[in-house]
Amino acid sequence: MRYGLILCFLACALGSAFAQTTVTIKSVSPAAFGFNVTVEVTNVGTRPIVVQLSPNPAAGHPRLQSLTVEQWDTNLGWQRVGPCKDIEGQRTRTLSQHQAMQDVVPIGDVAHGWSNAPCPRKIQHLGGKIRAVLACTYDSEGEFKRRRGIEQCQLVESPPVELPNWHSPD
């Protein structure tokens, strides 16, 4: 616990973008393949933050490139259940102080027809706790352009929520 407080203190003292960001699951609604999870990303800091947008903003696809949803598994830990995003985009959006952005992340259940090739999933059935995770935020457009991959990012996680019982909306 002490190390987490030290990291938070350092991040807050340095003013990094991840320390200025909160991620919250606003709602979970049933879909034929599983659920649509509405997530809100908020800049709670005093300076603008930059987030990367998906290169494919078609209907039904998340708009934030590094936003995903994970499900807790007692044997495997947190596992992704959201869509695969293997193509990076070059578009960004700047969130000013106290500005929020909502996105809908579809999560799927293989048993109900979810196919997420080419990214295989270890989770076969949705249920239990989920959390939203934003992998990267940036202090500036310049920092975004100099990025060195996801390993340089600090994850911003929402508090976990319990998935409702699954019922097809049909």
CATH of the domain at 113: 2.60.40
How many separate domains does the chain show? Answer: 1
Q: At 41, is the pLDDT very low, low, confident or very high (cuts 50, 70, 90)?
A: very high
Q: Report if residue 105 sits inside a domain.
A: yes
- What does the pLDDT look like over 44-79, one tens digit per residue? 999 999 998 887 665 655 588 889 999 999 999 999
Closest listed residue to residue 106, CA positions, set 69, 152, 133: 69
Q: Report if residue 132 sits inside a domain.
A: yes
| Owning domain of residue 85 | 2-162
- Write out the two tokens for 79: 């596992």
- What does the pLDDT look like over 17-28, one tens digit per residue? 656 899 999 999
Q: Report if residue 122 sits inside a domain.
A: yes
- How large is the average pLDDT for residues 123-130? 88
Q: Report if residue 52 sits inside a domain.
A: yes
Q: Report if residue 135 sits inside a domain.
A: yes
Per the prediction, the chain carries an average pLDDT of: 79
Q: Report if residue 170 sits inside a domain.
A: no
Higher pLDDT, 99 or 83: 99
pTM of the model: 0.81
Q: Report if residue 77 sits inside a domain.
A: yes
Beta bridge partners of 36: 29, 106
Report the sign of the C-alpha dihedral through residues 28, 73, 114, 102, in that order.
Answer: positive
Question: Residue 164 pLDDT > 50, yes or no?
Answer: yes
Q: Indicate the residue type of 3.
A: Y
Residues near 112 by beta carbon (within 8 Å), at least 6 away in sequence: 32, 33, 34, 166, 168
Q: Report if residue 169 sits inside a domain.
A: no
